[in-house]
A and B are shown apart, each in its own frame.
Chain A
Amino acid sequence: MDLLNNLALGFGVAFTGQNLIYAFVGCLLGTLIGVLPGIGPVATIAMLLPATYALPPVAALIMLAGIYYGAQYGGSTTAILVNLPGESSSVVTVIDGYQMARKGRAGPALAAAGLGSFFAGCVGTLILAAFAPPLTEVAFKFGPAEYFSLMILGLIGAVVLASGSLLKAVAMIVLGLLMGLVGTDVNSGVARFSFDIPELTDGIGFVAIAMGVFGYGEIITNLAQSDEDREVFTAKVEGLFPTKEDFRNMIPAVLRGTALGSALGILPGGGALLAAFAAYTIEKKTKLRPGEVPFGQGNIRGVAAPEAANNAGAQTSFIPLLTLGIPPNAVMALMVGAMTIHNIQPGPQVMTSNPELFWGLIASMWIGNAMLIILNLPLIGIWIKLLTVPYRWLFPSIVLFCAIGVYSTNNNTFDIWMVGGFGFIGYLFNKLGVEPAPLLLGFILGPMMEENLRRALLLSRGDWSVFVTRPLSAGLLAAALLLLIIVLLPAVKNKREEAFVED
């Protein structure tokens, strides 16, 4: 069995004492920061990235995977306890999770989220391990035209799922693509849009964008709200473990969520978010068992299913990243940036040229998931304590960690000026009601898109029809078009708006 051999190789790499410690530390730090209200996974990962700089690539990736899962789980904790979704995909968890917490059942809600996520993560890892090699084969058949079309599909997929105005999300992507082009053009060596600033010829640092827009921007927005808007749940959490009845309700919901999440996560563009919404909708449609709490009032299925779907989707969304090198969402875009810092260019070649790294990463994802359960279920009490830390102590610390973190990316104060500028831009975005996540995705994809467009048109001698005459490329573009049409259909449009206001 190839699959088993590969997984064995991966676990051999990941199961060294040192790497286990990195996975553990990553999970711990990720949860620690992710649980703080008002900090989503993107900001968390950006903030903790510098902690991995000094490590060898495999260890760094393992730690990053730990940070990633920790941040995700920390986000769910905040969502359930504070009614504050740190990211869009935990928006649905909030609905029933917070109601459970208000009824004193925060423990079972957190446990359901944790156990559901763990199960979904295990399944997702297996799917990832099974599907990555054949998909990599396909990836080698991809020419520049196919890559370009795939990125279009990915970007369209990302906006379709973004909340709010479709048009503004598209504009943000284009803005991100443009910002990604700042710096030296690889083909001609011309420094574009650098205003003769030497630091800008290397391009804008993505850590500065992520921290400025997501970190500073959100702090300023939070501070602008009065204290009453931030209702923090501090009542006692009793009875951590779900009851037998809870398990009976939970298990089918987790199974459904996992299946849905695994399938939807592979799609380029925010699959995890779609999966969480779809899973919640399905649970809502299934009949309530006698004596079950209705949805919206603290039904455990309303927590377990979307969390499982979310995590399964998050897991399988590594598939496009690892096989094609294309990040399907903002968090993954950040992971690409992190890998590039460690001199790893994600893509089909990673698996063949560096199998230890590839399978080690996959194994470490599973370890990261397991670590979360070990770490978080016993430590829920501590995370809840952390939520009671007053915001007036929290935000100066966040500003400090952002400033130090961004400085350490290049040991250059220029990055500190940049992060301040992007903090202002982030607040401006917030004021104008535009979502920043598509910007980050566009930013990472900008140079890749230009390169592939350039190569495709060079090969076709400037003939644009190459994108529709090559069958694979045409198929991808057709899928993108189909997605757009579906979203613009009046019936779906109304449903979509409905889904996003339902909280």
Chain B
Amino acid sequence: MKIKSQKDFFAGLMFMVVGVAFAWGATTYSVGSGARMGPGYFPLMLGILLALIGSVITFKALVVETEGGDKIGAWAWKPLFFILAANFLFGILLGGLPSIGLPAMGMILGIYALVIISSLAGNEFSLKGVLGLSTILAIGSYLAFVVLLKLQFPVWPSFITG
């Protein structure tokens, strides 16, 4: 059988998997009856509904002809990786990872790391420009979030501030 719409086929598949997962998870809680709904009742209902809709979408993707096969196309691995890596690295530097004994390095270092890594996701990269941008953003964020809005951030590495 040929897939007639790749996007719909995989979207349907995703909905089916997620729906079944939620429904299956819901059965581990008490389901109860309509008059006395347990915590599992509504998620079970919705999970089954989602799986059903997903299967209809998948079925239609196999039957209904679409122009050009509705291809998903190439994945943009580069921006995907660098944007998410920048995000996670920022989190690690900001808060530290107590589970492996990594101390918090604070917001300022995190900002430099985030801007440098995320800039790698773009097509052009100039270290000078990126460092300039990081410095501006670091000063701006410090003024806006810490001084002006008084949000609580670890600003500097914890081993310096103690």
Contact = CB atoms under 8 A, between A and B. Distances in A.
B109 interface: no
A404 B91 CA distance: 9
A396 B115 contact: yes
Most buried by B among A393, A400, A413, A464: A400
A75 B97 CA distance: 39
Interface string B121-162: 111100001100100010001000100011111000000000
Contact of B87 (A165, A399, A461): A399
Given A167-B56, A178-B22, A457-B35, A431 B72 contact: yes
Interface residues of A, number: 66
B103 interface: no
Nearest to B134: A396
B94 A407 contact: yes
A408 interface: yes
A193 B22 contact: yes
Contacts of B121: 220, 223, 395
Is chain B's binding surface mostly helix, strand, loop or mixed? helix
B88 to A, nearest CB: 5
B101 to A, nearest CB: 15
Interface in A410-436: 411-413, 416-417, 419-420, 423-424, 427-428, 431-434
A343 interface: no
Most buried by A among B79, B91, B92, B150: B91
Contacts of A53: 149, 151
Contacts of A224: 76, 79
Contact of B83 (A219, A407, A428, A434): A219
Interface string A33-61: 00000000000000000110110000000
Contacts of B26: 192
Contact of B38 (A177, A188, A223, A461): A188
Nearest to A177: B46
Contacts of A454: 37, 41-42
Nearest to B34: A462
B115 to A, nearest CB: 4
Nearest to A393: B133
Contacts of A424: 80, 84
B46 A174 contact: yes
Nearest to B80: A220
Interface string B10-47: 11001100110010011001100111111111110011
A20 interface: no
Interface in A169-216: 170-171, 174-175, 177-178, 181, 185, 187-188, 190, 192-193, 216
Contacts of A396: 86, 114-115, 118-119, 130, 133, 137
Interface of A: 50-51, 53-54, 165, 167-168, 170-171, 174-175, 177-178, 181, 185, 187-188, 190, 192-193, 216, 219-221, 223-224, 227, 391-393, 395-397, 399-400, 402-404, 407-408, 411-413, 416-417, 419-420, 423-424, 427-428, 431-434, 449-450, 453-454, 457-458, 460-464
10 contacts: A178-B19, A216-B83, A227-B123, A397-B115, A400-B90, A400-B137, A403-B114, A424-B80, A458-B35, A458-B37
**8 A-B pairs with least C-beta separation:** A462-B35, A224-B76, A416-B91, A462-B34, A413-B95, A223-B79, A185-B39, A432-B11
